[in-house]
Amino acid sequence: MSDQLPKKSASIDRRTALRGALAGAALVAAGSAAATASPVPGRYRTPGLRTGGKDVAIFGGGMAGLSAAHELIERGFRVTVYEPSYLGGKARSMGVPGTGTGGRADLPGEHGFRFFPGCYRNIPDTMRRIPFPGNPNGVLDNLIRVEGTVAGFRDKPPIFAPVELGALDQLTPERLQNSMIGAFSFIPELPPHELAFFGKQMAMWFTSSTERRFGQWEYLTWEQIMRADGKSAAYRAYLVNALTRITVAAKPHLSSARTIGTIGEALVLAGTGLIPEFSGGVDRILNRPTNVAWIEPWVAYLQSRGVRFVMGQRASRLSYDGSTINSVAITDGQGNATSVVADHYICAMPVEKTVPLLDDRILNADPRLAGMRDLVTDWMVGIQFYLRRPTEIPEGHIAALGSPWALTALRQAPMWVGDFPGQYGDGSVHECFSVDISDWDTPGIVHRRPAKQCSAEEIAAEVWAQLKIWLNTGTGWLRDEDVHSWHLDPGISWSGGTTHNETPLLVNTVGSYDRRPTTHCAIPNLFFGGDHVRSHIDLATMESANESGRNAANAIIDAADDPAPHAPVFPLVALPAFEAAKKLDADRFRAGLPHILDI
């Protein structure tokens, strides 16, 4: 088949060009390509009625809610956080109840393993401001750099590959293409001309203008922009499908090419050594369980500054009087309702928990909020295997490329401080092997069913079987007799033959940017936070949720007419070397012409 895009997207009509030009101009005006933190001189003020007052109620104690609370409490606001379940949200860790003996802590479990790419800038800024004993840079010093990753292939020996491209003195489109070819040349059975084509497509993305990104690539899938039709099985399985599934739990035939391209570009730039702001490299992890290394010190710091946490309470109704939100009903686990009154309200809950609060009166006040109803979530959930002996897998992230359930993993114990068997469990566990399951809809190889149709025991057996097939050829790294126990994220539950996930992730489907909310809306004292809110990283990540919390805090500062400085919001960084090509592409896009490399 031809490498050309479907005819529907091969040309650009005037409406598309105009839409992209307007979106791009707005983003440029907001400083989206700048290398320095917002705000800029003559800071943007949230439009609308000034509501005054400094009492803030935040509903949701995940990443967005804690980030907003952090910025507001440091600026003298009075903050209360209402959380129905666990502080830290999907970023938290949890112990496996009843597994600790002899004075040891319970075995540590996670929603999945945490990783912190060097392109994250907002999260590190927050972590630096959270005190931690012995750390001059607070919690930030609990991050350690990961140098490589293990790539596993079905029935083939795994390969250890560096995650960074190596220091470069400059990055041109030609050098970028060559770097992509070199970085993925280890993939077996991949035709060289298809790898070169992949590198060329990445160069096209890097040199695409903001107008084209928002006006064209937002409305194409990653599969389309990578021209998967007619390519080899290896190209489709590894470069198109696996790279998106293991990174963001995204389906390449549904996901916005702009979203995947944005995070891909940021990760590549983090690996070049050319961006001082991306000093953390491509990949970092915490040196302890997430709660110990980060969430618990964070909560303690916020409490010391005056943040009040009310646990076991969920927002159940927003009371709108035609002008502002005048109260919010909260409900406990037994269905008992009380009312919260504040000056400002932040809905910092996941999108699937926020949508039920948007009744007709609120949607009539701001019809744009209705777009949240059409946002899509998917599953990416963790399981830990506790092993009686350390594996010999190299330290770093592990990707079972092409595995049916898109598995990624991490040996956590070797990268954590302290003596693992002396600290956790019954003393016999030496390894915590943490695995993320990114594809819950594809049949497995043991039970021939998707994960959503399996019991917890079947999920554990299937994951372990896939890991052995993808990692054990020529190595023998994973042995059945070493498995002490396993722990599946408790957000997964079963009822009436149906599997339920309490913690799904937003996935950016084609055109979904148009349906995502901004932090503030037409109701002047109602604000939104979460990874579904528009952000620079524009992906369901801790970074985007943190950014949304900062933006919510800034919007409240403006609404209260408070003189406090804005919380800094750090955008992604673009290399000046690509600006001339992007300007040329902007002119071509406005003229209705394809990208110069889109041939």
CA-only gyration radius of the chain, Å: 24
Sign of CA dihedral 104, 105, 106, 109: negative
Q: 156 lies in a domain?
A: no
Cα 593 from Cα 120, distance rounded (Å) = 34
Same domain, 387 and 497: yes
In this structure, what token pair is assigned to residue 72?
A: 């507001």
- Domain closes at, from 501, 528, 543: 501
Structural domain boundaries enclosing 539? 55-85+312-377+505-559
- Give pLDDT tens digits for 75-126: 999 999 999 999 999 999 999 999 999 999 999 998 877 889 989 999 999 9
Q: Of the candidates 478, 501, 524, which is a domain's last residue?
A: 501
Q: Is 190 contained in some domain? A: yes
* Rounded CA separation 12/32 (Å): 24
Burial, 367: exposed, middle or buried (Cβ in 10 Å; 0-12, 13-18, 19+)? Answer: exposed
User: What CATH number did the domain enclosing 331 receive?
Assistant: 3.50.50.60
Tokens standing for residue 68 = 């907003």
| Residue 21 amino acid letter | A
In this structure, of 3-7, 126-130, 242-246, 276-280, the range with the lowest mean pLDDT score is 3-7
Answer whether residue 467 is part of any domain. Answer: yes
Residue 458 lies in a domain: yes
Confidence bin at 576 (pLDDT 50/70/90): confident
Same domain, 492 and 395: yes
Question: How confident is the model over 290-311, as a mean pLDDT?
Answer: 97
Residues 452 and 536 in one domain: no
pLDDT above 90 coverage of the chain, percent? 72
Q: Are residues 493 and 510 in the same domain?
A: no
Residue 11 pLDDT greater than 60, yes or no: no
Strand partners, 591: none
* H or E segment and range at residue 245: helix 243-248
Shared domain for 174 and 135, answered yes or no, is no
Residue-by-residue DSSP string for 387-433:
ESS---PPSSEEEETT-TT-EEEEE-GGGSSS-HHHHBTTS---EEE
284 in helix, strand or coil? strand
Question: 478-492: b or e for each residue (b if 16 or more CB lie within 10 Å)?
Answer: beeebebbbbbbebb
202 lies in the same domain as 256: yes
pLDDT surpasses 70 at 49? no
Q: Are residues 385 and 368 in the same domain?
A: no
Same domain, 389 and 453: yes
Q: What letter represents residue 265's amino acid?
A: E
Query: Three-state SS for 188?
Result: coil
Residue 448 and residue 527 in one domain: no
Buried b (16+ CB within 10 A) or exposed e, 54-91: bebbbbbbbbbbbbbbbbbbebebbbbbbbbbbbbbbb
Q: How many CA atoms lie within 13 A of 306 on its CB side?
A: 11
Whether the bond into 394 is cis, omega within 30 of 0: no
Query: What digits encode the pLDDT tens for the residues 243-269?
Result: 787 666 678 888 999 999 999 899 888
User: Does a structural domain hold residue 189?
Assistant: yes
The helix (run of H) or strand (run of E) holding residue 309 is strand 308-311
Number of domain units in the chain: 3
Task: Please report whether residue 595 resides in a domain.
Answer: no
Same domain, 61 and 122: no
**Do 67 and 141 lie in a common domain?**
no
User: Domain check: are 174 and 276 in the same one?
Assistant: yes
47/44 Cα distance (integer angstroms): 9
Q: What is the mean pLDDT of residues 215-225?
A: 96
The last residue of a domain, from among 472, 501, 530: 501
Q: Sign of torsion, CA 488 492 494 499?
A: negative
321 inside domain: yes
